[in-house]
Amino acid sequence: MEITRQRFCRLDVVIDELHALFEEWEREDALLAHLDQQTVELLRLAVHEWIANLVQHADFAGRSPEVILDVYPNGRRVRCVIEDNSEGFPFPEQLYVQQEALAPLPERGMGLLMLNAATEYFEYSLTDDGMRRLEFTVSADKDSWLDIPFS
């Protein structure tokens, strides 16, 4: 079951729009009808971290930004797909670099690490129509907080 397909086109307000969307879902129990509160919070964290990464680092090469969010609850898991029309970046390599260079209790640079810790599975790819696609699963059965590296 798909909860929503949401399109974002303005990077200057996408974080506020994203939080408003999650607040609307909370008011309507759209996600809690399928998932427990901790899993919803992990989903919110993962989505926020990825979108914030797009806002701060993505190169849209002069194109109007487009970010598409799809959320699919399935039992004790939720699958999320975020597509965007940016130039992309080498996500797995960047994640490895951040893991290796992590300072104790850093103030910044934890976004990709938190995304990785909050998810059970993720894949970053290029679609046939040229969109960058991040797909991940958040599970109520994974104790993700234990996986966040704090060196």
Q: Say yes or no to pLDDT of 108 above 50.
A: no
Distance of CA 132 to the CA centre of its chain: 13
Compute the average pLDDT of residues 54-66. 90
Which one, of 117, 105, 115, lies nearest residue 151 by Cα?
105
Q: Rounded to whole angstroms, how far apart are CA atoms 137 and 95?
A: 17
137, 77 contact by CB (below 8 A) = yes
Q: Say yes or no to pLDDT of 94 above 70.
A: no
Q: Return the half-sphere exposure (C-beta side, CA atoms, 13 A cut-off) of residue 58.
A: 25
- What the chain holds in terms of domains, given with CATH numbers, is 4-146 (3.30.565.10)
Task: Output DSSP code: residue 145.
Answer: G
pLDDT of residue 30: 81
Cα–Cα distance list, 80 to 12, 58, 104 (Å): 22, 19, 30
pLDDT of residue 51: 92
pLDDT of residue 2: 57
pLDDT of residue 151: 43
Give residue-wise pLDDT tens across range 115-136: 777 888 888 888 999 999 999 9
58 versus 113: which is more confidently predicted? 58
State whether residue 112 is helix, strand or coil: helix
pLDDT band at 84 (very low <50, low <70, confident <90, very high): very high
pLDDT band at 20 (very low <50, low <70, confident <90, very high): very high
Compute the average pLDDT of residues 66-84. 92
97 versus 115: which is more confidently predicted? 115
Q: Say yes or no to pLDDT of 75 above 70.
A: yes
Least confident stretch, 4-8, 16-20, 83-87, 144-148: 144-148
Pairing of strands 4-8, 132-139: unpaired
State whether residue 33 is helix, strand or coil: coil
Compute the average pLDDT of residues 140-150. 58
46, 78 contact by CB (below 8 A) = no
